Structure 1
């Protein structure tokens, strides 16, 4: 007999007596401080036991983003006849509203995509330069007590490159009319969408952080109007709208990129900075252009891995993989101490080169070919010892080197887009422009924080210069055919995460969803492109799923292990599978660390 049926057949008095007797017989229990401690995932009938869900498959298109509504926006754009680039623009515009903690039109964008007509990977650099009216002397006067630029305020604001990146990509690859890509997103901003769990958590903490640092922010009211209407940030499940951004997107839909960089919006942004004491001008905005670039490439055990060169850190992914290729990671074992040790040491070596060399190549020359070479990787790999960590990592003597949203989308014609966009640390600078009366609905990036202020440094601040950039899209091919458009968001975690995805799939045979759900490591404490030196050997953070035996082996090798810190990134991936005797199909994956979903049809 089922319990519910049995209890319902007892007299009420018997139930009360039984309840009272049971209560008196049991000691009073209090809820544990960590009610879910020791509880892990349920069992899956197939696939890796740590995977949260299956890879989704479709034949005509796919999208994977950090918000369910953004994924739907992308799929709907594809179904209306849009290209993968149309869908990417719509997704990015939507995420600026849906996930303001990670991106928006006040920031920069980078992309790599498979062009099926040219049968090659192409890319663009959509990052903006510093204001031409802001001198190095003035920038230094705003430095913190650590001698670096602050993370908020007008001194961190560079020209936002995202809208021009949309326009440039649409001019080359768009199928739908420009306005038809953006107007549905503007309507979404005006209607509002329920707030998901992770974004609600980040939004509340970002706004609290701005409040604590308000003295460094020249204007604090507009951000509260947009992101904390009614005096607080939206809670989980509450409908959040941003009609201010909707109005701005309608102006961009009607006037194209010029509305933002030369027209009404540019004038409003200039007036805003003039009023608060900032430096960005309409002239800075008007001079900006997206740069189409050839990605750099390396081969990892037969897989062609692509990245964007400096001023991004894309080369770091290649360098980590080039060093790891010198070792038998598969033989070491999945999630073993030996495997994680060699990967993390490769990261430490790569990041010292990153700190020394990576900068705007219009102002300094990075020896990309040498740093990306197999010969250099072999030389660096010899520095790694299997039984203990390097006491200190140094950059190579090469000859004359935050928060983000990432998404993948692919269309029926075989175009695959790997797109990443960010305001940098948290939501950005804290500054939300207005038209004199109403906010424009977006926050300016704080990417300028990443400039160095040290004489002679490749990444030293200069007027009109692009700072070192952390955001990097990922792309990989097999046998000259596209394989996957993928990325892992999150500041310095990005090349570490990208390398782990490739290693998980190539060395350990995981599928796209399993590769993302696998526990990750993150090393912190390397030298930085801001001029800050390494903190000894740094700290190696491990997610809870890393086996205890691996933890013990890493401690024995001398690693200082840090707690799981929530900084392990957010992953999206769309793969193309070549099927024998049939048409290729798409597999799409996202992960449990974000609010998003992956869909294919």
Structure 2
């Protein structure tokens, strides 16, 4: 139990339904949908649409999403891959300057066809109880009538000002006062309201066919892109079988590649061989083991994760407990390894939300435009920010994740779900680009090994190993930092928080939902 004399907040608790997002507007809308009879997937899509308006630096209809969800009637965990592909006319070379290691962040070649709207509309049609027009209405209202910018949003907005100024449409839409929006100021995006209204009226065709698709294609082609209206017309996501592993008897599920979720499963398999519960929750020994497990898992992620329709992926070997045991032999509990190549880390901007309804249908939902304001390429009429997920490709033609036509890149955003005794127990996610496998592992082991509730697990201080540095948040105890230095870690202080996160725990015996939302963001968990 937390110390009530220290800053913080208690976990939210309820018996009927619950939602946790990182913006209060989105959480409120999700609860309203649940209370009016909507299913968990309805509430999640309505909340995601609101976030696409009120957190434009993080997400939008020009981005992608991934979803894990369960139907309590069947108990099955279902995955949906809502990530987009490159244009089918995209060449395999000449997409970046000579010697570049990745596609540039604002290049039209970084813009993959957005998959979010296809995912939203299909999931609502297949598993919802409400019409998409009703679910988009709150987002349309916020875009048209405005909303007050929250503090974390304002902070992120300011950090992206220079990038926004590279695109005249971005300047007009997102720097309307000649500068980034500040906390408490009211922002409107009437063009986005019109685009959402077309989707509300016509479903997916309102985005992938007609004036919205044409404007996106025309704008990208004016910048040198290879996109066509046909690329948009044929774009579709797909249901996928989750990849799962066990951790101390808990079944943990993730989206399969091209998603990086398998990285968290490999980290957990490695850490399962250690008695974490005997260590201090914020001690150097625990955090050191997380770093070393992460370095090994990210090494494999960078080598193998790809669009598996275009290259093979050694799924069974990577998820085997024997493989994790072999990797553990490379870890010293007392000293950081010096022989591992550093994984290529990158921050991204993402929104994660989770919803559980009164029937205990559960949704783990994540939506993103990747970098802050994505590519910063914004459509002239509809004010749509286009993602830059193409940066996730390798420019090495021999790499499994090599850029090419009609391909999905390695994707960092990952929804999580853990089952106990065959039933959903934790519905969770942690944002932050490459940080996400670390975050998933940190909060899950916080609950399983240290008995923390969702809010406590999310609130815990975080570290991350990036480019040969161990990056620590301000709240990591000084004693822990000094011990990590003695173990050989090169410590640097984080300049910004490591991600954000939400979690809902289901107590089936008591019939209670327990939710947490990350104080690193602006949001909250609410139930009824």
Range class of TM-score, shorter chain = over 0.9
- Higher-Rg member (1/2): 1
Is it true that 1:540 corresponds to 2:496 in the alignment? Answer: no
Is it true that 1:518 corresponds to 2:478 in the alignment? Answer: no
Greater RCO, 1 or 2 (C-alpha within 8 Å, sep 6+): 2
- Tell me the distance in 1 between the aligned counterparts of 2:217 and 2:500: 34
- Which of 293, 304, 307 aligns to 2:251? It is 304
- Which of 120, 128, 132 aligns to 1:166? It is 120
Q: How is 1:26-45 mapped onto 2 (pairs within 5 angstroms)?
A: none
Is it true that 1:568 corresponds to 2:515 in the alignment? Answer: no
Aligned counterpart, 1:494: 436
CA deviation digits over 1:57-95, x for unaligned, max 9? Answer: 111111111111111111111112111111111111110
- Which of 404, 407, 420 aligns to 1:465? It is 407
- Tell me the distance in 1 between the aligned counterparts of 2:189 and 2:230: 28
CA deviation digits over 1:418-456, x for unaligned, max 9? Answer: 00111111111111113xxxx212210011011111121
Aligned counterpart, 1:407: 353
Number of aligned residue pairs: give it.
523
Shift of 1:264: 2.7
- Tell me the distance in 1 between the aligned counterparts of 2:315 and 2:198: 40
Q: Could you state the TM-score of these two structures normalised by the residue count of structure 1?
A: 0.85
- Tell me the distance in 2 between the aligned counterparts of 1:325 and 1:68: 36
Instruction: Name the SS for the 1:299 alignment partner.
Output: strand
- Tell me the distance in 2 between the aligned counterparts of 1:65 and 1:109: 15
Aligned counterpart, 2:318: 371
CA deviation digits over 1:238-279, x for unaligned, max 9? Answer: 111111111110000000001211223222222223333322
Shift of 1:184: 2.6
- Tell me the distance in 2 between the aligned counterparts of 1:144 and 1:104: 32
CA deviation digits over 1:492-538, x for unaligned, max 9? Answer: 1100000000111111111100001011111112xxxxxxxxxxxx1
- Tell me the distance in 1 between the aligned counterparts of 2:480 and 2:352: 30
Aligned counterpart, 1:267: 214
Q: Is the 8 A contact 1:273 1:281 kept in 2?
A: no
Stretch of structure 1 that moved more, 223-232 or 591-600: 223-232
- Which of 50, 54, 63 aligns to 2:10? It is 54
Instruction: Name the SS for the 1:417 alignment partner.
Output: strand
Q: Is the 8 A contact 1:269 1:281 kept in 2?
A: no
Instruction: Name the SS for the 2:368 alignment partner.
Output: strand
Q: Is the 8 A contact 1:349 1:394 kept in 2?
A: no
Aligned counterpart, 1:98: 54
Q: Could you state the TM-score of these two structures normalised by the residue count of structure 2?
A: 0.96
Aligned counterpart, 2:448: 506
- Which of 133, 136, 158 aligns to 1:204? It is 158
Q: Check 1:463–1:50 CA distance in 2 against 1; reply closer, same or farther (3 A cut).
A: farther
Q: Check 1:375–1:290 CA distance in 2 against 1; reply closer, same or farther (3 A cut).
A: same
Is it true that 1:597 corresponds to 2:524 in the alignment? Answer: yes
- Tell me the distance in 1 between the aligned counterparts of 2:341 and 2:472: 24
User: Unpaired segments of 5 or more residues in structure 1?
Assistant: 1-44, 215-219, 396-401, 526-537
- Tell me the distance in 2 between the aligned counterparts of 1:562 and 1:410: 38
Instruction: Name the SS for the 1:137 alignment partner.
Output: coil
Instruction: Name the SS for the 1:158 alignment partner.
Output: coil
Instruction: Name the SS for the 1:63 alignment partner.
Output: strand
- Aligned-residue RMSD, C-alpha: 1.6
Aligned counterpart, 1:315: 262
- Tell me the distance in 1 between the aligned counterparts of 2:475 and 2:202: 50
Aligned counterpart, 2:106: 152
Aligned counterpart, 1:399: none
Shift of 1:48: 7.7
- Tell me the distance in 2 between the aligned counterparts of 1:389 and 1:49: 36
Instruction: Name the SS for the 1:569 alignment partner.
Output: coil
- Tell me the distance in 1 between the aligned counterparts of 2:97 and 2:27: 40
Q: Check 1:542–1:509 CA distance in 2 against 1; reply closer, same or farther (3 A cut).
A: same
CA deviation digits over 1:383-437, x for unaligned, max 9? Answer: 1012211112269xxxxxx111111111111111100111111111111113xxx
Q: Check 1:86–1:120 CA distance in 2 against 1; reply closer, same or farther (3 A cut).
A: same
